[in-house]
Amino acid sequence: MSHFSSGQLNQLGNALEAADWTTDDVTRLGQSGKDRLTQIRLSLVYLRPLFTFKLGATDGKAITEAARAVFPGYFDPEFEKQGIVFSGIAPETELLAEELVQNGKFSDFLGNTAAEIEKRRLLGSQFLAICRDNPKKLRGEGRANFFVLTKGDEKVAEDLSNVFVAGARFGDFGPLRAFLLAFRYAYVWDGGPWLRFFSPQQ
């Protein structure tokens, strides 16, 4: 007897039908061996855990000028334009670093609902503290590191309109740079050991 709910099975059936799977395709899937099904399951994974670490508490005293000092290579004016703040107070937090292993958009691997993305949200002050106090945790060699932020450190809105993804990277031979992208940015990122994502450990 399957432990999957009827709702989950219906959702799977609807997705397969929308992708033009036939009844014969589904039969062959059900008859696949364990190794093949494991391969399919792993192909659905976008982010691979790398390590966890403790980030110290933030005192809420940082301002935009302090952020500029952390990113001498470049500090995107979009941070200020979109209302990203760096003055939030947060306790010591366990963070998880992951790397992207499959191609996808932000909504593919960070979630596409407010509840999912809220679990990944950091305060602007935490983003700043990671880059300032833990630079060795960041991916180097000009590769990007990503962090989910919201306007004014608000909770994630149901329509995701206040969600942004901050990026930080070291230039090939230069100092740390920071940029800001809208969560709905449609670019498809390449999987591989290139991109690192930071979020609270759940």
Q: Are residues 150 and 88 in the same domain?
A: yes
> For the segment 70-92, what is each residue's pLDDT rounded down to a tens digit?
999 999 999 999 999 999 999 99
**Co-location of 81 and 169 in the same domain:** yes
Q: Any idea what DSSP says for residue 137?
A: G
Rounded Cα gap, residues 138 and 107, in angstroms: 22
Residues 142 and 52 in one domain: yes
Confidence of residue 131 (pLDDT cuts 50, 70, 90): very high
Are residue 139 and residue 196 in the same domain, yes or no? Answer: yes
Q: Looking at residue 66, what is its pLDDT?
A: 86
Amino acid identity for residue 181 in this structure = L
pLDDT of residue 180: 97
* Residues 90 and 126: beta-carbon distance below 8 Å: yes
Residue with tokens 């200020």: 80
**Residue 196, in any domain of the structure:** yes
Same domain, 22 and 108: no
CA separation for the pair 170, 124 (Å, rounded): 19
- The domain of 125 spans 47-200
End-to-end CA distance of the chain: 30
Residue 19 within any structural domain of the chain: yes
Cα distance between residue 135 and residue 33, in whole Å: 45
Confidence of residue 192 (pLDDT cuts 50, 70, 90): confident
Q: Whole-model pTM?
A: 0.80
Say whether both 14 and 67 belong to one domain.
no
H or E stretch including 27?
A: helix 23-30
Residues 54 and 37 in one domain: no
pLDDT above 90 as % of the chain: 65
Domain count for the chain: 2
Six-digit token string for 64: 């935009």
- Alpha-carbon separation of residue 25 from 28, 32, 45, 158, 169 (angstroms): 5, 11, 22, 36, 44
Q: What is the mean pLDDT of residues 44-69?
A: 89
In a domain, 1, yes or no: no
Average pLDDT over the chain, rounded to an integer: 88
∠ CA 28-33-38, nearest 5°, is 105
